[in-house]
Structure 1
């Protein structure tokens, strides 16, 4: 048992002043905002609720574009979630993000319904049921149906929408924090700690967790310590693409200015270096740079909003294939441990996806399949072997022994390197 003084200091640490956003430039934020609006025109597949959420949390708006995207969410994404529910597929995270996106536009969530087993029920009713199923699965198999990131998103979405989160559902997230279950493979997941922090902070603010306030506070303290301990020397928390959510969580939980100033600066530098060209990355970074978090949705009122964001048309940049070729070796490791090695020369600057497509066309026995996600395409099958979420497996990508922080569509082959694609459990 820690001495009372230490506990008091830690509790004060968890509830001190929020981070500031000082030093960031209006020009940079406007540039990110405009890039996010432009991504609405170029998006492939379903509309991304995370992008809509970031646009709505922004200080600057293009109301016409946001309204148009809201309608796409209510139609296209709604139909996709309906299909998943009809086929009894777990879509906790997507449904939670969908509800947060709609609420950020002050849309009446009680008017959004889904039909399952001939019964028409509201979005939040279905989300609450999904969370009960997730909670029951944890009790049975010690892990959610999906994962703790999606579980945290579900808790957050219900709480932000004013729905009382079941004590049993919140308690599972608190125990997972205590047991350090937020891992992706053998690595602790900064993204999951961040989302759990925002979810539990919302529960604390709502006053709905009456079981043990100390237990909840202890979890929040631990989450903040984990996030701060993951901060690198350059200021990023985890990596460039997890820093946005991490700073959002620190903002939500409260922190001294000095505890996130370095991370704010790191994000601004990465933005200026064009590291955030993926819309999903911008959508998680922009709210943090503007001093906001997903908890800000709770107080969104949508009245007297700015409508001055003008997005200039930009001529598409045509990138010609480089005449310089670089060698890429690809080592595929199956679930059984069997390995197959391939080699291909690709134009310098090719995306990993383009390089794999070139390798497949060479007809040397390498094949792959991809699926879409909010972050872009990801590998679902390689050489006929699947790595499915339902089996708790995924294709882990690394370059010269270092895990990739970008997806196959974003990572560029700029020099000769060894790519490993390994069927990995989590």
Structure 2
């Protein structure tokens, strides 16, 4: 176990590069903020509560657009959640994010209700019930109905809403952290450790876990160590898309992450190279760059807020298809382990989704289906075989043996490569 002074010194490590804390960094934050706000205009499907949460945690606001998005959340997302609850679907993560989004707008959560089996109860009551179902499933099968990431979100949302989290519920998360069970598939998940860290820190700050405070402290220490051990030479923690949540967690747990820390510089470098073009990625990164975490929602007051964020007109960008083509081999591995190989030439710079569409058009035997998520579309079925969350399965994507950190619509194909699509359990 790393001693605390080592942890502190690791966190205090800063990049050797010059760190401009006033000029271009502020412009970068404003640019990310505007990109997130602009994403509301082109948002497809359900409104994203994570985007709303990040906008509300920002220092600069466009209150009219944020209010409009809040209304979409209360109508469109609310109705979708109502349907899921009525059909007994596990939606603890969405309920939790919805709670955090409303809380970030200082909305009265006691006025938000759902009706199931002719019984009307508040959002927080339904979230508590969902958490009880998750807890019981862990006791029965050693894993949540959904995932420990969603479970952590549920603990966090209840806690920042000043709802006492049952010791039985928080203990399950403490044990999972201690036993290294915070995984996605077979791999420990930085995102899950980060969300668990914020959730358990909130529980500790609330003083509601007095009987097992030593175990809680041990779990928090282990989470810190896991996050630090996941630091890469380039400053990212885990990968480019997990660094934001990891920094949020370290900040929430009381660690000093300086403005010029390597992790902050890594996120800024990635942002300047347009790595965070997905609104969901920006929504997790922007609060970290502002040195805030989701725990900030607990004490947020919506008073005297800046209202100067304006969007300038943007000329539409026409992307012409590249004449250069690259060869892509796609390997599909089914649940039984059977593999099928396909080949397709795609224009350089195509997304993986565009490549799969071309493959589907060229090969009669290849088919796929998509489902929507907060991160964008994801594969739900390939060649007629499903990989559903209800079966604790997903289609794992890799390129030349390296797992993809982006989804099918975000990952760009710039060179010849072998894409593997494998039906994987978690």
- Place the TM-score, normalised by the shorter chain, in its bin: over 0.9
Any idea what the Cα deviations from partners look like across 1:173-192, whole Å, max 9, x if unmatched? 00001111011122110000
Any idea what the Cα deviations from partners look like across 1:125-164, whole Å, max 9, x if unmatched? 0000000110000000000010000000000000000000
Equivalence for 1:338: 338
Aligned partners of 1:10 and 1:221 also within 8 Å? no
What is the CA distance between 1:315 and its match in structure 2? Answer: 1.5
Equivalence for 1:357: 357
Equivalence for 2:226: 226
- Say how many residue pairs are matched: 418
Name the CA distance, whole Å, in 2 between partners of 1:260 and 1:238.
19
What is the CA distance between 1:13 and its match in structure 2? Answer: 5.4
Q: What's the TM-score once normalised by structure 1's chain length?
A: 0.95
Equivalence for 1:89: 89
Distance 1:284-1:140 versus aligned 2 partners, 3 A rule: same
Name the CA distance, whole Å, in 2 between partners of 1:307 and 1:79.
30
Equivalence for 1:328: 328
Any idea what the Cα deviations from partners look like across 1:200-236, whole Å, max 9, x if unmatched? 0000000001222111111000000000000000000
Name the CA distance, whole Å, in 2 between partners of 1:10 and 1:395.
41
2:210 is the alignment partner of 1:201: no
Aligned partners of 1:11 and 1:217 also within 8 Å? no
Q: Secondary structure at the match of 1:369?
A: strand
Aligned partners of 1:326 and 1:415 also within 8 Å? yes
2:9 is the alignment partner of 1:23: no
Equivalence for 2:251: 251
What is the CA distance between 1:342 and its match in structure 2? Answer: 0.4
What is the CA distance between 1:323 and its match in structure 2? Answer: 1.2
Equivalence for 1:411: 411
Equivalence for 1:393: 393
Q: How does 1:10-409 map to 2 (within 5 A)?
A: 23=21, 25-257=25-257, 261-409=261-409
Q: Secondary structure at the match of 2:85?
A: helix
Any idea what the Cα deviations from partners look like across 1:342-399, whole Å, max 9, x if unmatched? 0011111110001101110113310000000000000000000000111111100001
Q: Secondary structure at the match of 1:396?
A: strand
Name the CA distance, whole Å, in 2 between partners of 1:209 and 1:378.
38
What is the CA distance between 1:268 and its match in structure 2? Answer: 0.4
Aligned partners of 2:250 and 2:256 also within 8 Å? no
Name the CA distance, whole Å, in 1 between partners of 2:376 and 2:383.
21
User: What 5-or-longer segments of structure 1 have no aligned partner?
Assistant: none
Name the CA distance, whole Å, in 2 between partners of 1:356 and 1:12.
44
Any idea what the Cα deviations from partners look like across 1:232-279, whole Å, max 9, x if unmatched? 000000000000000000000011346981100000000011100000
Aligned partners of 1:114 and 1:122 also within 8 Å? yes
Aligned partners of 1:11 and 1:221 also within 8 Å? no
Name the CA distance, whole Å, in 1 between partners of 2:341 and 2:78.
42
Any idea what the Cα deviations from partners look like across 1:81-136, whole Å, max 9, x if unmatched? 00000100000000000000000000000000000111000000000000011000
What is the CA distance between 1:12 and its match in structure 2? Answer: 9.5
User: What 5-or-longer segments of structure 2 have no aligned partner?
Assistant: none
Q: Secondary structure at the match of 1:211?
A: helix
Q: What's the TM-score once normalised by structure 2's chain length?
A: 0.95
Name the CA distance, whole Å, in 2 between partners of 1:49 and 1:401.
33
Name the CA distance, whole Å, in 2 between partners of 1:260 and 1:288.
13
Distance 1:286-1:422 versus aligned 2 partners, 3 A rule: same
Q: Secondary structure at the match of 2:326?
A: strand
Equivalence for 1:424: 424
Distance 1:107-1:224 versus aligned 2 partners, 3 A rule: same
Name the CA distance, whole Å, in 2 between partners of 1:245 and 1:95.
19
Aligned partners of 2:250 and 2:257 also within 8 Å? no
Name the CA distance, whole Å, in 2 between partners of 1:76 and 1:121.
19
Q: Secondary structure at the match of 1:291?
A: coil
Aligned partners of 2:247 and 2:257 also within 8 Å? no
Name the CA distance, whole Å, in 2 between partners of 1:88 and 1:11.
47
Q: Which consecutive aligned stretches of 4+ in structure 1 deviate over 6 angstroms post-superposition? A: none
